[in-house]
Structure 1
Amino acid sequence: MARLTRAQQQERTRAAVLAAARAEFAERGYADAKVDRIAERAELTRGAVYSNFPSKRALYLAVLIDSIEHPGAAAAAPSSSSLAAALSAFARVWLERLPLTGDTPAGGKLQLRSLAGVFDDEPGRTALAQITRLEALLLALALESRVPRHPRRVRLAELVLTLLNGAGHLADAAPGFGDPFDVTQACRHLTGLDLADTWDPPHLPYVAPAQAVRDAWQPPAELPDQISGHQAGFDADGVIAVLGAGRLEAAEEAVRAAHPGDRVTVAVVTGDPAELGRLVRLRIGDLTGCLRRVFAPDALPSLRLVLDDHATIASAIGIPDIDDATEAAVRVQAGKIVARATGRGAAHAAATAGPLS
Structure 2
Amino acid sequence: MARLTRAQQQERTRAAVLVAARKEFAEYGYAEAKVDRIAERAELTRGAVYSNFTGKRALYLAVLADDAEQARAAAEPPPTSPGTAGQALGVFARLWLERLPFAADTPGSGHLRLRSLTGVLDTGPARTAMGELLRFEALLLAQALEPHTALRTGTVRRAELALTLLHGAASLAEHAPGAGDPFDLARAAEHLAGVPVVDDADPPHLPFVGPARPTRDAWTAPGELHDEITGGRIGLDDDGVVVVLGVGRLSAAEEAMRSARPGDKLTFVVVTGDPGETGRLASLRVTDLIACLRRVFVHEDLPRSRVVFDDTGTVSAAIGRDAVDDSTEVAIRTLGGLIVARAEGRGAGHAVAGHAIQEGARQRSRASRK
- TM-score scaled by length of structure 2: 0.93
Per-residue deviation, 1:118? 0.1
The aligned residue for residue 366 of structure 2 is none
Superposed, 1:203-282 pairs within 5 Å as 203-282=205-284
Superposed, 1:81-96 pairs within 5 Å as 81-96=83-98
What amino acid maps onto 1:102 in structure 2? A
Using a 3 Å threshold, how does the CA distance of structure 1 residues 27 and 194 change in structure 2: closer, same or farther? same
Q: Which of 308, 311, 314 does residue 309 from structure 1 map onto?
A: 311
Distance 1:134 1:110 in 2: 23
Q: How many residues are treated as equivalent by the alignment?
A: 356
Superposed, 1:1-357 pairs within 5 Å as 1-71=1-71, 79-145=81-147, 148=149, 151-152=152-153, 153-356=155-358, 357=361
SS in structure 2 of the partner of residue 52 of structure 1? coil
| Residue deviations 1:95-140 (CA, integer Å, cap 9, x gap) | 0100011111111001000001101111110011111110010001
Range 175-184 or range 347-356, more displaced? 347-356
Per-residue deviation, 1:350? 0.6
Distance 1:110 1:167 in 2: 16
Using a 3 Å threshold, how does the CA distance of structure 1 residues 138 and 149 change in structure 2: closer, same or farther? closer
Distance 2:357 2:195 in 1: 39
Contact 1:25 / 1:106 at 8 angstroms: preserved in 2? yes
Contact 1:217 / 1:332 at 8 angstroms: preserved in 2? no
The RMSD of aligned alpha carbons is 1.6
Using a 3 Å threshold, how does the CA distance of structure 1 residues 255 and 150 change in structure 2: closer, same or farther? closer
Identity percentage over the alignment? 61
SS in structure 2 of the partner of residue 348 of structure 1? helix
| Residue deviations 1:166-209 (CA, integer Å, cap 9, x gap) | 00000111111110010001011111211123452221122100
Per-residue deviation, 1:355? 1.6
Q: Which portions of structure 1, spanning 4 or more consecutive aligned residues, are displaced by more than 4 angstroms? A: 72-78
What amino acid maps onto 1:24 in structure 2? E
Contact 2:78 / 2:298 at 8 angstroms: preserved in 1? no
Distance 1:132 1:221 in 2: 29
Distance 2:150 2:23 in 1: 49
| Residue deviations 1:59-109 (CA, integer Å, cap 9, x gap) | 101101111212396665553121111111100110010001111111100
Distance 2:47 2:170 in 1: 35
Per-residue deviation, 1:347? 0.5
| Residue deviations 1:3-27 (CA, integer Å, cap 9, x gap) | 3232222221111100000000000
- TM-score scaled by length of structure 1: 0.96
